[in-house]
Amino acid sequence: MASTDLKQIAPGVFAWQPGHEATWGLANCGLVVSKGQALVIDTPYTPALTDAFLTAVRSAAGPDVPLDRVAVTHANGDHTWGLQQLPGADVYATHAALEHQCLEPRPEQLQALIHDTDPGQPLGWYFREHFGKFDFAGIEVLPPTTTFTGRHDLEVGEIAAELLEVGPAHTVGDLIVHLPEQRVVFAGDIVFAGDHPSHWAGPLERVAAACARILDLDPEWIVPGHGPLMTPDDLRGYIAYLDDLADQAYVMHGQGRTAVDAARILIKEDRYAGLGLPERLAITLSTEYRHLDQDTTAPDLLKLMDHAARIAWDRSSTGPLAP
């Protein structure tokens, strides 16, 4: 299911990219290592995936380098639920990430959504399709040990690492990891490559602004939260996508169309050809609509997933509207 290899991006800087197929949960992670010190960037979704990641990390870092620091780009489970495999590590995150951690379904709830829902209905089918390959049993969700606002600087041997708060954007508590000398940015889920994003906090203007901030750092490589490595030109293309999607949301909201209807229209138009998981448009557009409506209530993540599932169901060979 997942690649177990680390890709070296720059001296002492590695990315773990478990897969690029259009699915949920296979998040990119990272390693920075220098002079006997290490910084892990995010952890995979499950203990089994995390063990595979850490095997690769220990091989790259050396068996005697302690894995005692982790930077968490945001609180989604596919970036944090492996933390229990690094007991005693200092875990850095923005203070706002704690808020999103409270909104996430717990591992046992996600396990129930996979196994106890009706596979003959869109939501049950969708969870089995995209999350059924993961084993969420026995996961303990750990909070960060060190939180900050704004910026937190670390030294990893001779490598300077800047943890920069850029949320709310994808979630309320996003950060990016900037390695200025190596010209690498780990962007977390501020950036998706190859698939439509699922942005939970927004608005899209803030996501685009976070991407623009990455460009201002003059990186050579950007590690997205999901998908292959990106160049600055790739990121500019992603910003253009975000800007266009915001424009479409504004127009169709003004026309009185629902966010789900707007998503279906854009999918039918094939407006963003080549991007996987188009049903996620329902999630991101619903987020954008909340801002247009000045609705400050917390999002119902399960309801948003149901919107996406129904679109995917209708477009699949399983659903009633299949071609």
Q: Is 145 inside a domain boundary? A: yes
Each residue of 283-318: b (16+ CB within 10 Å) or e? Answer: bbbbbbbbbbeeeeeebeeeebbbbbbbbbbbbbee
Q: Which pLDDT score is estimated for 101?
A: 62
Question: Which pLDDT tens digit goes with each residue over 262-285?
Answer: 999 999 999 999 999 999 999 999
User: How far, in whole angstroms, is CA 204 from its chain's centroid?
Assistant: 15
Q: Is 1 inside a domain boundary? A: no
Give the integer Cα–Cα distance in Å for 117 and 201. Answer: 27
The answer, yes or no, to whether residue 1 has pLDDT greater than 50, is no
Q: Which pLDDT score is estimated for 19?
A: 78
Q: Is 68 inside a domain boundary? A: yes
For the segment 89-104, the average pLDDT, to the nearest whole number, is 85
Q: Is 251 inside a domain boundary? A: yes
Question: pTM of this prediction?
Answer: 0.95
The answer, yes or no, to whether residue 3 has pLDDT greater than 60, is no
Q: Is 322 inside a domain boundary? A: no
Q: Where are the alpha helices (DSSP H) in 160-229?
A: 204-216
Strands 175-179 and 159-165: antiparallel
- Cβ neighbours of residue 164 closer than 8 Å, sequence gap 6 or more: 151, 175, 176, 177, 178, 213
Residue 241, domain extent: 6-317
Band (5; pLDDT cuts 50, 70, 90): confident
Number of domains in the chain: 1
Q: Is 303 inside a domain boundary? A: yes
Give the integer Cα–Cα distance in Å for 111 and 132. Answer: 8
CATH number, domain of 197, equals: 3.60.15.10
Question: Which pLDDT tens digit goes with each residue over 7-46?
Answer: 999 999 999 999 777 789 999 999 999 999 999 999 999 9
Residue corresponding to tokens 């803030």: 206
Band (84; pLDDT cuts 50, 70, 90): very high
Q: Is 66 inside a domain boundary? A: yes
Q: Is 302 inside a domain boundary? A: yes
